[in-house]
A and B are shown apart, each in its own frame.
Chain A
Amino acid sequence: MPRINFCGSPEHAVDRRAFLGAAAGATLAADMTAINALAAPEVNGELRKNQKRVILLWLAGGASQLETWDPKPGAPTGGPFRAIKTDVPGVAISELMPKMAQRMKTTCIIRGLNTKNGDHGSAAQIMMRGRRDEATLKYPDLGAVLAREMGRADSKVPDYVTFYTQTEGRNMAPGSPGFLGARYAPMELTTNNIPEFIRKLDSIDELDHHERAHLRELLSKQFARGRTSETLNSQNEAYERVRGIMASEKLFDITQEPQTVRDRYGPTQFAEQTLIARRLVEAGVPFVRVGRAWWDSHGQNFETHQEMVPELDHVLATLIDDLAERGLSDDVMVLTLAEFGRTPTINPSLGRDHFASAWSMTITGCGIKGGAVYGKTDPKGNTVVAEEVDAGSLFATIYAALGINPHKNYYVGSRPVPLVNPGIEPIKAVLK
């Protein structure tokens, strides 16, 4: 939403957010003026996007496009696995993904990624932020932007949660709010599936816990009389959020799910974290990243993918089915993405190395055309020969599908900073 008269101050920059928080509240429904205001297309867009959620399955280390979404069977670079037909005529994927082959009508494959960076750390930053940082400006990543755009001020749940339990590559792909600041930093789970340090101390009973909160509120109100301060508001909001997050612990507890649902996702850590991600988005968390490391198959690429792709296939297919059965397909976007793909050339260790020139990712749900395939690579998979996509246009597409104007500006001081770099456009061919 453009800010025509925005002064650039951080205090005013949160006004829209405060408005949205109020707009989503019950009081708005009784106010006809406000309802009329919702008729404006851009405000409808804001409300629509507020219903959207995103789960990013982050394939850390770089999964091979040739063993997943863009197989080249029979080519010298193709490896041993066959391609199998899918439920979309003319579209084939690796035989390691039989479950997704039956669900490609739900999912868009972007096969034309050329992101030009084959270094784990800097490539991960680009693929999480949609662009390279400037020397003096650190951009927020996708999760932080969506937390800001789709989170709600009165939310009782965190806005941005990321799982990355393995140690390899974790420091190369941290969640980062960039210039948006710590408010949009992720809740990072790195040791187990339930956040640490959010439980009330055992030494404090429930009554004491509530009384302490009431006392703090009383003191805060007394202090606030006659004062206007964003800092004060922020302080109060932080306490509200902490209490909400403390209450959200059960969302991370998969024993709350029926055993049949848990069995359906499966017993692996990736499966369990993806199930938690579904619980979180269902409860209103705008963005959850499930990091699944480590795909960096310089040695034994085929056996690595034989081990890991069937798990991805099963978990992704189960998530898509689960979201559909819950009526969430139009509201929850599921992404599979990594920092890069893998070389078509097979090295002496039967491995594939880093490759950012022609690789693939997928988008499922929300405003994306299921069954679409965008981008084409040559017969050996070395280059993109049609419909090339860079990180910026991928992010513009994701934003547009979620109802967010990719050209809207944030302000760093008085400098307008658009969500994607100038000149970058969404891929209209994959948008509904």
Chain B
Amino acid sequence: MKPNPVQQVGVTPIPNHTFPTTRTMPAPHPDTIQQLKDLQRPVIYFAVARLADSDQIYLGGSDFKVCSADLGAAKFEPKELYSHQSYVTGIALAGLNLVSGGYDGQLIWCDVETGQIIRTIPAHSKWIRKVVASPDGKLVASVADDMVCRIWDAQTGQLVHELRGHKEQTPQHFGSMLHAVAFSPDGKLLATGDKVAHVVIWDVASGQQLGSVDAPIMYTWDKVQRLHSIGGVRSLAFSPDGKHLAVGGTGKIGNIDHLEAKSRIEVFDWKAGKQLAEFVSDKQGIVNRLEWSACGSWLVGAGGAGEGFLLFYDVAARKALRQDKLPMHTHDFHLSADGTELICVGHNRITVHRLGRVH
């Protein structure tokens, strides 16, 4: 990894607003990040999950397979658990239940202890984009291009809620896509984001819509040059207190054919429906994954275009901490609960990183 000098590229501060942070112990700091592993495989990995307190990871990718792998093993050898009928784009671990979703519209439950498939559900009528588990592991949420978010009981597979708050068509009469979903750290909130960059915040218990925000620059519809779009909200992350929502995608595109746009993150006070900050990176491409550190002192985003990137922002100070190049366009990552380990997956590669604590 080749770190860039800290830059405050395109950061738009909003005056007189503070972001809460929790600093009860020394937090891992992005300045200490080191790349430990760079593992190459002939697969585009779209999703990764990690068994807590272990080196066991689960991968989903372009080979239609869900695999397990031991990052601590001398030789990295992913083992196939089972297959979908198309790209596997979402994986979530809810306790010992592994739930995967793919372009085949199916959700598959697997017991990671036995490796046995528990159930297969035709969950969506179109392509599933992402699957996430609630922090307590009791619920799983899936989003798909049928523009519905479905919340499932992680143990029984029963449907708990159907959340419908996104239009099936764009204003230009094309099919929309529901790319992103994220739970808040306390599990009480859920956010979903779509192609036209409309974000809905939901109350998980009731399934009721609580609010919405929009990041229209991320839509990237081009009515003059190319008459299509490739943008949308691709990633979402709540702040530790759930008050703020980070939204990731791409910005105004110069050349839509090559994703020539600076990656973009906007942070909202979602209750007020107010944008608090926007971060425009000097790295090109789409922010596919976002997560706030548990202490709230930084936000990490990953994505890419022809190349990959890893971005760290101090949202409270509204400044970029690092903008690093990754060896691959990154589609997903797993950040350990203590924020010290980061596993990135993407185009033909898996990289493992460590962050140190700064006293």
Residues of chain A touching chain B, judged by Cβ–Cβ distance below 8 Å, are 61, 74, 76, 79-82, 165-168, 266-270, 292-294, 296-300, 303-304, 306-308, 310-311, 346-351
**What 1/0 mask marks residues of chain B from 283 to 302 whose CB sits below 8 Å from any chain A CB?**
00110000000000000000
- List, sorted by A's number, 5 A–B pairs whose CB atoms are closer than 8 Å: A168-B226, A268-B172, A293-B226, A293-B227, A310-B174
A299 (CB) vs chain B CBs: closest residue: B259
Q: Which residues of A contact B285 (CB under 8 A)?
A: 349
Q: Which residues of A contact B2 (CB under 8 A)?
A: none
A350 to B44, CA, bound (A): 9
B285 (CB) vs chain A CBs: closest residue: A349
A351 to B306, CA, bound (A): 9
B322 within 8 A of A: no
A300 to B249, CA, bound (A): 13
Are A266 and B173 within 8 A (Cβ)? yes
Are B86 and A346 within 8 A (Cβ)? no
A267 (CB) vs chain B CBs: closest residue: B173
Q: Which residues of A contact B173 (CB under 8 A)?
A: 266-268
From residue B294, how far is it (CB to closest CB) to chain A in Å?
A: 31
B226 (CB) vs chain A CBs: closest residue: A294
Are A308 and B228 within 8 A (Cβ)? yes
B7 within 8 A of A: no
Are B329 and A350 within 8 A (Cβ)? yes
Are A348 and B85 within 8 A (Cβ)? no
From residue A84, how far is it (CB to closest CB) to chain B in Å?
A: 13
What is the number of residues of chain B that contact chain A, defined by CB distance less than 8 Å? 40
From residue B243, how far is it (CB to closest CB) to chain A in Å?
A: 32
A348 to B175, CA, bound (A): 25
B225 within 8 A of A: yes
Partner of A167, one of B174, B225, B259: B225
Are B328 and A348 within 8 A (Cβ)? yes
From residue B129, how far is it (CB to closest CB) to chain A in Å?
A: 10
Q: Which residues of A contact B259 (CB under 8 A)?
A: 298-300, 349, 351
Given contacts A74-B64, A269-B227, whether A82 and B86 have CB atoms under 8 Å apart is yes
A294 to B104, CA, bound (A): 27
B230 within 8 A of A: yes
Are B224 and A348 within 8 A (Cβ)? no
Task: Give the top 7 A-B pairs by smallest Cβ distance, nearest first.
Answer: A299-B259, A294-B226, A80-B87, A80-B103, A300-B230, A296-B257, A168-B225
Q: Which residues of B contact A270 (CB under 8 A)?
A: 227
Q: Which residues of A contact B155 (CB under 8 A)?
A: none
From residue B40, how far is it (CB to closest CB) to chain A in Å?
A: 13
**What 1/0 mask marks residues of chain B from 44 to 58 whose CB sits below 8 Å from any chain A CB?**
100000000000000
Task: For chain B, residues 202 to 251, give those with C-beta under 8 angstroms from any C-beta of chain A.
Answer: 224-230
Are A310 and B175 within 8 A (Cβ)? yes
Q: Which residues of A contact B329 (CB under 8 A)?
A: 348-350
Most buried by B among A80, A294, A299, A350: A299
Are A80 and B127 within 8 A (Cβ)? yes
Are B175 and A294 within 8 A (Cβ)? no
Partner of A347, one of B62, B174, B224, B306: B306
Q: Which residues of B contact A268 (CB under 8 A)?
A: 172-174
Are A166 and B305 within 8 A (Cβ)? no
A81 to B127, CA, bound (A): 9
From residue B181, how far is it (CB to closest CB) to chain A in Å?
A: 17
Q: Which residues of A contact B347 (CB under 8 A)?
A: 348, 350
A379 to B308, CA, bound (A): 30
Partner of A76, one of B42, B104, B177, B257: B42
A268 to B227, CA, bound (A): 10
Partner of A166, one of B64, B85, B104, B225: B225
Are A166 and B226 within 8 A (Cβ)? yes
A347 to B259, CA, bound (A): 12
Q: Which residues of B contact A300 (CB under 8 A)?
A: 230, 259, 286
A168 to B253, CA, bound (A): 14
B63 within 8 A of A: yes
Q: Which residues of A contact B101 (CB under 8 A)?
A: none
A347 (CB) vs chain B CBs: closest residue: B306
A299 to B348, CA, bound (A): 16
Q: Which residues of B contact A82 (CB under 8 A)?
A: 85-86, 104
B304 within 8 A of A: yes
Task: For chain B, residues 78 to 104, give those with C-beta under 8 angstroms from any C-beta of chain A.
Answer: 85-87, 102-104
Are A304 and B228 within 8 A (Cβ)? yes
Q: Which residues of B contact A299 (CB under 8 A)?
A: 230, 256-259, 305-306
